[in-house]
Each structure stands twice: as C-alpha cells, then as structure tokens.
Structure 1
Amino acid sequence: MLSEVEIDVWTSSPVDYSGLRVFECPAYVHIPNEERSKLDAKSRQCIFLGYQKGVKGFKLWDPKANKVVISRDVVFDEKPMLQCTQKGEKQEPESCSSNEKLIQVELETHDIEDHAWNAGKSSSEDQQHHNIAMDRPRRTIKPLISQEKSRWMGAMVEEIQSLYKNQTWDLVELPEGKRAI
C-alpha cells in the first residue's frame, strides 16, 4: 500500500497522467485563419508554462510577442528543449583536450572567373562554372543505362508530349541581354 499513489487508493482507479506535459518544452500554438493571411505560418512557437486554472487550455509564453498566451490548439514537442540564454551571458566554446588528434585537411580551390568578363564564352563553359559542386543526378543516368531503357525513354517522351499537348508553357525567344535559367 505504500507504493500506491494516494489518489489511486482514494478513488480505487489508476491515475491518468496522459494530460501532463513537460514544462518549458517547445509548443506550437495554432493561429486561426482570421488572424493570418494565406502565406503566413499556421502556428507560432511558444514555451509551455503550465495549465490555466478554471480554463480548458494551456498557458504558454510567446517570446516573439513577449506575452502569455492561453490556447487549446497546441502541439507539444517534448523531445528537444529550448535553450534559453541571458542577453549578457556568453557561452564559451568547448576547447579541445590535448589528447585529441588534430587533423589538417588541405582543400583544393579553383578560381571561378567573373561572369561579366566571360560574355564571349560559350554556354557550356559558363555552365561548368556554375555547377562546380553539382554532379549530374543519378536518377537521370540510371534509367538511361538500365535494361528498361526503351521503356524509360518512351515514358519521358510521353511526358514531354503531354506537356506540349496541355500547353503547359509557351516557347518564346529569350530577350536580348538575358540568360536562360
């Protein structure tokens, strides 16, 4: 009987803790349609403070508006906790201990010529400069080298024909002095 919670003994039924939330956890309060425009966020991040006495709702702190909010439409994110720091407080970076190995890595650098000076170069040379860090996507290559190459090609041609048929875009001349993206 000592291990049982007093309310369990009093009511002879187990206590339901499913409504309890972690204090100071991030919580997202729903913003009603009337208070936002089409492109605004549907919720705002707040900090859970507790329960409002006499009201079916949660008490939350909205750091952006700098006010307490009471709402029922809340989604809790109890896994990560918000890190709060004082304005004057500085956090020191973690220092490396002497027994850790330091690895020096030399990075190759390539000079990228300024585009304004390269107006006379062809578009393929220009494209190489803009796509230095990007490789060709594997998704495009795999279908073209697979055993079902003809089916993939047929599907791609069919998709392009569908785009033309539905007049998804208009093919126009590029204005003088402009580049295609």
Structure 2
Amino acid sequence: MRTAVDLINLSPSVPLSGDIHERVWKGKDVSHKHLRVFGCRAFVHIPRDERFKLDGKSKQCIFLGYGNEEFGYRLWDPVSKKIVRSRYVIFFEDQTIEDIEKEDKPKPIARNDSVYEPELPTRDINDGGDANTNVPPINTELRKSVRQSRPSQKYPPHEYVLLTDGGEPERYEEALEHDHKEKWLITMQEEMQSLQENHTFELVKLPKGKKALKNKWVFIVKGFNQKKGIDYEEIFTLVVKMSSIRVVLGLTASLNLEVEQLDVKTTFLHGDLEEEIYMEQPEGFAAKGEENLICRLKK
C-alpha cells in the first residue's frame, strides 16, 4: 500500500490538470529514475563489517518500496523474514520471488528420459573394508566452468544506487561532502574531545610482533524512526523500556510533578582495560607530527 501511494504521488493527476502531486506539494521537479518494478528480485550488498571472510557479499531479496524519509530502498529478506534497507542494490526487474523458489528446489539428474540415481559403493561396518572391491573409484576431479561472466548491459552501474537527501554518510569522506558536513564535523570533534578527556588512549610506537586494529566512523542520526512491526524493537544501545517511561509519565501527570531528563555521554569509557590492545588513529584526526604513532587503548 505504501509503494502504491508513492507511485500515485509521482503520477499525473486529472484534478491537477495533469500535474504531479509531489511536484505541486514540494514545489520542485521530481525524478522517476529510482523507480523499480514492485516485487522484483534484487541482490543487496552486505557491508564488510557485517559478514565473515568466507560469507557471500550479497543476499537475495524482494523489492518492496522506497525509503522516503529514510535512506535507500526497502526490501524483504525471505531467509531472515525481515525488512532490510540499503542503497546498494542490483535489480532484476524481469524476475520475481517465484524464480528464487524455482532455483531453491533440487533438480533431479536425468538419463535416458528417467531419473538417474548413481549407485555408491557400500562399506562393511564390521571390518571397515570395501564390500565390493571391484567397484571402480569415483572420479572426483572438479570441472571448471568455461562460461564467461559479463556485466549487465541493461542497467548502468550508477543506477544501482539511490541517494536521498539527508541520508547518513557511510564513510568519513562522505561526511566531508555531506550537505550537513559542518554538523558532522562538530560531532566528530566532540567525540574526539570526549576520548581525550577520558584518557581513552595514549599514542605510542607499535611494538614488534603486535598488530594495530582498524577502526571506522559510524554516522547515525538518532531519533524515533523505528516502525512498529519492522524495526520497532531494534536499538543501538541499552535504553530504558517504554513501559517504564509510560509509568513515570503517568505518575507525573496524576501527581502534578515535573520531569527532568539527562544523558550520560561516553558511559562506555569508564571501564579500564587490562588487555594490551593497539589501534590505528581515527581517520581525519591523526595527531599532527605524530601520524606514524598508534593508539594504545586504556579504556
């Protein structure tokens, strides 16, 4: 229903003399380049920090709609049974979920118009020897495919990505080119100041035989954007339960009290580390003249 509403708002309207709802409402031109076939097959890129070394770099999903106020596309993951959002999606608009279900079904091996099941040699459990010594060994040599993979010519690479206004940057470079880069820079400077004031690390030379951990900036716009039934219960940090908040607000209203709220920043920095851990300096905030040093974590 939500996708249908989005398409209606981007379609010409008779009461508006052929004009488009969204263009009249926002007062600016609209684009239709991001539109895709509803329910089509799609492959969503899995970020490097969300997968292991041997895991696949993408997963099959079904296209559901558009993020609107949120970034990227909305898709259905049939394996985890969840709604996922992503900017980096490759669409196969001529395929649906039925094509995925067909591929998941095992295909029988056909020989002479009948189902062929290979007979494997049996082994005697008592003596561990072969029951039939005349059975020839099975050829386990792998056959390499000679088919050459070719990129899709139907959809240019730049059409795989949907960039929306006000989205969250993925990397430090994107934050510097963001529309609100001043706010992101202020936030990063405050984060670095908190790390320094809490003596989280000290700059040292990396000892021999030691490795320094990587790190990355994570840019999140905090707010109440969760949707009930989709990601309403997904949180990033431990917070008070909504039922507790309702109890407090109910008592406040009935007893005519006042409520004050406070936020304890960098709570996780109050735990001292006993292990010897080294980490590279945060990107964009390496100490001047000490770029070759690394951080020895203390908290």
Answer yes or no: same fold by TM over 0.5: no
TM-score by length of 2: 0.27
Could you tell me the TM-score, scaled by structure 1's length? 0.42
